[in-house]
């Protein structure tokens, strides 16, 4: 299996998952700052939008960080990183993965782009303020869910923790976890996992 990877991007999520699974894989480095993700050959074969991550598995190509993580959990059922299909826990697993990807991540991306990535004269402080306000209720719901829980679903670590934990690292990078000690503590626990350390350590 080959993961198209850049260390400062969402490709840390599938890498974290691969490390949790302990299966063999290689990484293909894609230098996003140099624009390698927009090379026509890469876009034609690997990612039609010219982004990372992407997974290549024996000629099978898959994009979207959360989809890759969930697919990997299902591909190795013996590792127990996804609740049984059809169970209530599986429903919650879908719920929290979609929740962070749709209710939290877009606001965080807006903040990230407008505070750290775009050239200063293109940054929009109003968009940052609006996104910060949009993030707060989602973060509150997530923090409430995690009260008294070690993991986002059930009593064991699952792929949902990779996605939720991964999104929270972005919240941390844009300094939006200060008011959410419960989220900070959860993220800290997740980042202590050896697999996460490897994925985020480069």
Q: Which residue is nearest to ligand GSH (CB)?
A: 51
Q: Per residue in 63-88, is it b (16+ CB within 10 Å) or e — as a string?
A: bbbbebbbbbbeebeeeebbbeeeee
What six digits make up the tokens of 120? 């200063």
Work out how close the CB of 37 gets to ligand GSH at its nearest, in angstroms, rounded to a whole number: 5
- Closest listed residue to residue 54, CA positions, set 74, 27, 23: 27
Q: Of 164 and 182, which CB lies nearer to ligand GSH in the complex structure?
A: 164
Work out how close the CB of 137 gets to ligand GSH at its nearest, in angstroms, rounded to a whole number: 22
At residue 29, the 3 state secondary structure works out as: strand
Q: Of 110 and 182, which CB lies nearer to ligand GSH in the complex structure?
A: 110
Q: Of 50 and 154, which CB lies nearer to ligand GSH in the complex structure?
A: 50
Work out how close the CB of 134 gets to ligand GSH at its nearest, in angstroms, rounded to a whole number: 18
Q: Of 19 and 105, which CB lies nearer to ligand GSH in the complex structure?
A: 105
Q: Per residue in 159-177, is it b (16+ CB within 10 Å) or e — as a string?
A: bbbbbbbbbbbbbbebebb
Residues forming the site for ligand GSH (CB under 6 A)? 9-10, 32, 37, 50-53, 64-65
H or E, element range at 45: helix 40-45
Work out how close the CB of 111 gets to ligand GSH at its nearest, in angstroms, rounded to a whole number: 14
């Amino acid at each position: 299996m080959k993961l198209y990877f850049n260390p400062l991007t969402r490709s840390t999520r599938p890498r974290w998952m691969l490390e949790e699974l302990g299966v063999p894989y290689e990484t293909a480095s894609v230098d996003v700052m140099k624009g390698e993700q927009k090379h026509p050959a890469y876009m034609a074969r690997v990612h039609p939008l010219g982004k990372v991550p992407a997974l290549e598995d024996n000629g099978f190509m898959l994009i979207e960080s959360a989809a890759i993580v969930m697919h990997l959990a299902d591909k190795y059922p013996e590792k127990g990183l996804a609740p049984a299909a059809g169970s209530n826990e599986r429903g919650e697993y879908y719920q929290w993965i979609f929740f962070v990807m749709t209710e939290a991540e877009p606001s965080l991306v807006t903040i990230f782009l407008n505070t750290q990535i775009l050239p200063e004269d293109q940054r929009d402080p109003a968009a940052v303020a609006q996104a910060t306000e949009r993030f707060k209720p989602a973060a509150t719901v997530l923090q409430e869910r995690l009260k008294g829980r070690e993991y986002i679903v059930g009593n064991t670590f699952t792929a949902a923790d990779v996605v939720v934990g991964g999104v929270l690292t972005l919240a941390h990078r844009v300094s939006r976890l200060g008011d959410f000690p419960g989220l900070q503590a959860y993220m800290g626990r997740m980042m202590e996992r050896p697999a996460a350390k490897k994925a985020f350590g480069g």
